[in-house]
């Protein structure tokens, strides 16, 4: 539950033949929830409710709610839904969200282009960092792209943007980034992953410590081999199939394990950021990006 936005979901699979299917349990929970809401004077509007099916083995069950006249209403099915500013699709590719954010960034970029005849590096960086780039980075830890075409599309917005800076004509994308000291968006997403991982490992953000009811693993878990070289906060690399291969815990663990002891043992987020910036000062992805076209 978040403000007036409530979600109900089921993860548990049917383990025994005598167990009720998860679809049946979810329908029962939905019916009880609507009954409770009515008793509390908070009537739900079934016509605004939606169902999204995730997973290849999903039975695609239809769910119902009661209208005011006590008739059954079949909840509409959707393949994408906006949740706290992020468009989640049933395939968990986030391609629709990425394209939406690209369109927003390009719209702002177009307004800047038509407003200013010339932009020096200082003015450009101020406008770009405050008005354009936030559209391309908001909660990237959640939707960081897996598909190369989505990565290229995001990076192309920045490549198009820096062409507005006067005095950089004739230089390559990498040379312009070096001149402006502006990292690639791919590097920025990796940096955001490390900051989020630091918060989780050091307990600065709440995380459900209970293991997954399906696979028995925790979201993040310490490395099994404590004799490995590296820092004291190394994590176990989790191998996930399908779309989960690019989930945050799978995506960020390798980079996290490569950090130095001094960096990961920082006692606050700001110190960690400073140490990470120094350690990744010469990271190849910082100013270099290879487009596929």
CA nearest 158: which of 105, 229, 116?
A: 105
Max mean pLDDT among 172-176, 219-223, 250-254 falls in 172-176
Q: Would strands 86-89 and 80-83 be described as parallel, antiparallel, or unpaired?
A: antiparallel
pTM above 0.85, yes or no: yes
For 250-264, what is each residue's pLDDT tens digit? 899 999 999 999 999
Residue-wise burial string across 171-189, b where 16 or more C-beta atoms lie within 10 A, e elsewhere: eebeebbeebebbbbbbbb
**How many helices (H) does the chain have, and how many strands (E)?**
11, 6
Tell me the three state secondary structure of residue 80. Answer: strand
How far is it, in rounded angstroms, from Cα 119 to Cα 125? 9
For 25-45, what is each residue's pLDDT tens digit? 899 999 999 999 999 998 889
Mean pLDDT of the chain: 89
For 264-288, what is each residue's pLDDT tens digit? 999 999 999 999 999 999 999 999 9
What's the rounded mean pLDDT across residues 159-183?
A: 95
- pLDDT over threshold 70, residue 214: no
Task: Map tokens 């690399």 to a residue.
Answer: 237
pLDDT of residue 58: 83
**Phi/psi at 173 (5° precision):** -60, -45
| Contact of 196 with 248, CB cutoff 8 Å | yes
- pLDDT over threshold 90, residue 12: no
**DSSP letter string, 118-182:** -B-HHHHHHHIIIIIHHHHHTTHHHH---SHHHHHHHHHHHHHHGGGBTT-TT--HHHHHHHHT-
With a pLDDT cut of 90, the percent of the chain lying above it is 66
Task: Map tokens 């908001």 to a residue.
Answer: 138
How far is it, in rounded angstroms, from Cα 137 to Cα 258? 24
Q: Would strands 80-83 and 76-77 be described as parallel, antiparallel, or unpaired?
A: unpaired
- pLDDT over threshold 90, residue 107: yes
- pLDDT over threshold 90, residue 227: no
For 133-143, what is each residue's pLDDT tens digit? 999 999 999 99
Distance (Å) of CA 254 to CA 64, 95, 153, 193, 258: 44, 24, 25, 11, 6
Higher pLDDT, 212 or 187: 187
pLDDT of residue 189: 97
């Amino acid at each position: 539950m978040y403000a007036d936005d409530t979600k109900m979901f089921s993860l548990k699979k049917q383990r025994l033949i005598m167990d009720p299917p998860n679809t049946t349990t979810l329908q029962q929970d939905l019916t009880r929830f609507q009954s409770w809401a009515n008793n509390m004077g908070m009537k739900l509007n079934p016509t605004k409710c939606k169902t999204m099916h995730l997973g290849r083995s999903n039975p695609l069950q239809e769910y119902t709610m009661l209208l005011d006249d006590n008739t059954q209403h079949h909840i509409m099915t959707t393949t994408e839904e906006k949740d706290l500013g992020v468009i989640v699709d049933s395939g968990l590719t986030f391609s629709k969200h990425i394209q939406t954010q690209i369109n927003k960034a390009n719209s702002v970029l177009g307004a800047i282009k038509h407003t200013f005849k010339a932009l020096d590096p200082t003015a450009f960086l101020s406008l770009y960092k405050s008005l354009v780039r936030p559209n391309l980075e908001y909660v990237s830890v959640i939707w960081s792209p897996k598909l190369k075409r989505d990565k290229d599309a995001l990076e192309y917005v920045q490549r198009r943007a820096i062409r507005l800076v006067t005095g950089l004509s004739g230089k390559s994308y990498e040379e312009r980034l070096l001149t402006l000291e502006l990292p690639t968006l791919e590097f920025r997403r990796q940096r955001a992953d490390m900051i989020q991982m630091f918060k989780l490992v050091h307990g600065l953000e709440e995380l459900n410590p209970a293991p997954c009811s399906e696979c028995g693993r925790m979201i993040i878990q310490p490395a099994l081999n404590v004799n490995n070289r590296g820092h004291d906060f190394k994590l176990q690399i989790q191998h996930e199939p399908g779309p989960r291969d690019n989930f945050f815990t799978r995506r960020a663990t390798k980079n996290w394990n490569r950090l130095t002891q001094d960096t990961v043992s920082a006692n606050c987020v700001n110190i960690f950021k400073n140490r990470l910036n120094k350690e990744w000062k010469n990271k190849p992805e910082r100013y270099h990006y290879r487009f596929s076209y």
